[in-house]
Structure 1
Amino acid sequence: MQLGQPSRTALATAYARAYHQIASEPRIFTDPLAIQIADVTPDQLADLDSATMQEGDADGAMRRRRRMFLAARARFAEETITDAVAHGTRQVVILGAGLDTFAYRNPHPDVRVFEVDHPDTQAWKRQRLDATGIEIPPSLTFAPVDFESQTLAAGLADADFDRSRPAVFIWLGVVMYLTQETVLDTLRFIAGQATPVQVVFDYLYPASASTPEYVAQRTARADRVAAVGEPWLSFFTADEIANLLRDTGFDRVDDRAAPDLIAGYLGIPAQQSSTVPSHVLCATRSE
């Protein structure tokens, strides 16, 4: 992201999540605040979706697949939270929160939610909340962290996050924008939380493990995000990420390829994909 400005990719994700609520496609994830926090009308959402159509995607198929994956990963994350709360966890940390709305729909008043993000993005979000009339619940704590000058540990400590109690960490749409060293440091920090601790995050396969069709699509999208100052930096295969998680102390990994995750929520067989898709996973350290 560019200094002094909110994340452009966070805004794009918010538009996609909002458009999923009204698009003529199967509803995977329902978010009654998605359109409100995006602060645009349904007609404007449709225009935004058309205006940002990927080159060579005249019928919107690629954008529709991406939108469905964003909805599916959000549902997967919130189902993980629900399960963890049922087993006693009372802390949720959303890393790179952007315009995520879970904290404002949180059905568990005794569950504390910590939103971690760059100070500029967080200030922009708080302006959005105020302008759109979305109330900040007492269960939410903002934890602004500028990783150029502050660590995640320090930012959460300042927010009174309790390292001695179990927690769920939600880390969506972030890993690919970080260096592998930062990804490893963050996983080590999460693994150091009192058990049980879980982390949900998504990641991208490297080009070397991809078909030519996928490389072409991904290159075009990578160029777009790099142009707004948010380049992709890290890629993993499923085996690589599983080994990394085991090395940092996690003992269980539930990894889902995007088509499999989407098909599971739609109740249909997974379709064979000619491309290597995005993945989302839940890793657990139970002891």
Structure 2
Amino acid sequence: MKLDRNAMGLAFLRGVESSFHQDVQFFEDNYALKLIPGTAFKLVSGLTKFRYFRNKIVKRYEKSIPGVYGNLICRTRYIDEKLKEAINNGFKNVVIIGAGMDMRAFRIEGIDSLNVFELDSATMSDYKQTNIKPLIGENQHVTYLVSNLKTESLQQNLADAGCDNTLATLFIWEGQTQYFAKKQVESILATIATFAKGSQVVFSYLLKDVIPAYSQEEIDGDLVKWQFGLEPKKVKSFLSANALQLVEDLDAQAFKKRYIEPSERALSCLVTEHTVLAEVK
């Protein structure tokens, strides 16, 4: 069984952040480290409860890709906040595209009152369902959809699963748009735009300038091409052309001001990625 190492790596970093003291952690995900397979990962995961090793892990990631850890925890915190707001505002559906080991369906208070639809590959979805059952037991509010949105229709997938597009819905599309062609991104956004007025999507994107420079990424032994990026000054018009309205577009400086500076933690943030919140007109 070939699992997505990117998804496992993100789960590991979410687990690292959750091992910090509650006074300084950006969020808490007590499931993350329990979902990671492999003896080596589990050994390292066990060391995160010790401050020395925890700090060493963060420094190693920061040295490898400056700002990657800070960006991940800021992005996670931001999306958590948008989800909590959606719950408080009476949204009825949550759709998580490329869910991976995302455990928001179980760790965010009140989410069990919503219908959650998680889309992922068969391998990842099967692994997740098998491994979370001992942690959370049976659940009725999550529907798992096996899907490849590069070849399949998001609209058809959701319709077949009984997702009602007349209800207020939050879409979460995190850390993935660069792997899609522009037409595929537009198709997904067009589907989101068919949902009830006021529905929202939160997604991340890479700056268009960095796509040619880092055009390929090795994932699980395969070279995966980066295809899609945006220019910040064109985000508003791009969304508008797809019947969506920009609410906010957060860059590294915005994340630092909103989350890192108040925490007084010595973290940097990626300058090559933004996180967007948009709304159905």
Answer whether TM exceeds 0.5 for this pair: yes
C-alpha displacement at 1:63, in angstroms?
4.6
Q: Point out where structure 2 has 5 or more consecutive residues left out of the alignment.
A: none
1:59-98 matches, within 5 Å, as: 60-63=62-65, 65-98=67-100
Question: Mean Cα displacement is larger for which, 233-242 or 156-165?
Answer: 233-242
Go from structure 1 to structure 2 and tell me whether the alpha carbon gap of 1:175 and 1:46 turns closer, same or farther (over 3 Å shift): farther
Q: Specify the SS of the correspondent of 1:153.
A: helix
Q: Match of 1:17?
A: 14
Whole-angstrom CA distance in 1 between matches of 2:202 and 2:167: 18
Q: Match of 2:42?
A: 41
Go from structure 1 to structure 2 and tell me whether the alpha carbon gap of 1:181 and 1:251 turns closer, same or farther (over 3 Å shift): same
Residues 19 and 45, structure 1, Cα contact 8 Å, conserved in 2:
no
Match of 1:250 among 228, 241, 244: 244
Residues 28 and 68, structure 1, Cα contact 8 Å, conserved in 2:
no
Whole-angstrom CA distance in 2 between matches of 1:30 and 1:64: 23
C-alpha displacement at 1:207, in angstroms?
2.9
| 1:112-136 CA distance string (max 9 Å, x none) | 1111112222112223224x53334
Residues 244 and 278, structure 2, Cα contact 8 Å, conserved in 1:
yes
Please state if 1:125 is matched with 2:158: no
1:137-152 matches, within 5 Å, as: 137-147=139-149, 150-152=152-154
Whole-angstrom CA distance in 2 between matches of 1:9 and 1:173: 10
Whole-angstrom CA distance in 2 between matches of 1:228 and 1:46: 30
1:200-211 matches, within 5 Å, as: 200-207=202-209
Question: Mean Cα displacement is larger for which, 201-210 or 164-173?
Answer: 201-210
Q: Specify the SS of the correspondent of 2:113.
A: coil
Letter in 2 for 1:172: E
1:1-287 matches, within 5 Å, as: 5-22=2-19, 26-39=24-37, 40-41=41-42, 43-44=44-45, 60-63=62-65, 65-108=67-110, 109-130=112-133, 133-147=135-149, 150-207=152-209, 219=214, 222-225=216-219, 227-268=221-262, 276-285=271-280, 287=281
Go from structure 1 to structure 2 and tell me whether the alpha carbon gap of 1:21 and 1:85 turns closer, same or farther (over 3 Å shift): closer
| 1:247-280 CA distance string (max 9 Å, x none) | 11122330001342144113449x9x89743110
- Matched length: 268
Letter in 1 for 2:165: R
C-alpha displacement at 1:175, in angstroms?
0.5
TM-score calculated relative to the size of structure 1: 0.80
Go from structure 1 to structure 2 and tell me whether the alpha carbon gap of 1:235 and 1:227 turns closer, same or farther (over 3 Å shift): farther
Question: Mean Cα displacement is larger for which, 258-267 or 65-74?
Answer: 258-267
Residues 93 and 114, structure 2, Cα contact 8 Å, conserved in 1:
yes
Go from structure 1 to structure 2 and tell me whether the alpha carbon gap of 1:60 and 1:73 turns closer, same or farther (over 3 Å shift): closer
Whole-angstrom CA distance in 1 between matches of 2:211 and 2:4: 29
Letter in 2 for 1:126: Q
Letter in 2 for 1:265: Y
Q: Point out where structure 1 has 5 or more consecutive residues left out of the alignment.
A: none
Whole-angstrom CA distance in 2 between matches of 1:94 and 1:67: 22
Residues 35 and 42, structure 1, Cα contact 8 Å, conserved in 2:
no
Residues 203 and 280, structure 1, Cα contact 8 Å, conserved in 2:
yes
| 1:205-233 CA distance string (max 9 Å, x none) | 123699xxxx5xxx4x9544495343322
Q: Specify the SS of the correspondent of 1:114.
A: strand
Residues 204 and 274, structure 2, Cα contact 8 Å, conserved in 1:
yes
| 1:166-214 CA distance string (max 9 Å, x none) | 100000011011111100110111011111110000010123699xxxx
Q: CA RMSD in A?
A: 3.4
Whole-angstrom CA distance in 2 between matches of 1:274 and 1:198: 25
C-alpha displacement at 1:158, in angstroms?
2.0
Q: Percent identity?
A: 23
Q: Specify the SS of the correspondent of 1:41.
A: helix
Residues 62 and 69, structure 2, Cα contact 8 Å, conserved in 1:
no
Residues 211 and 227, structure 2, Cα contact 8 Å, conserved in 1:
no
TM-score calculated relative to the size of structure 2: 0.81
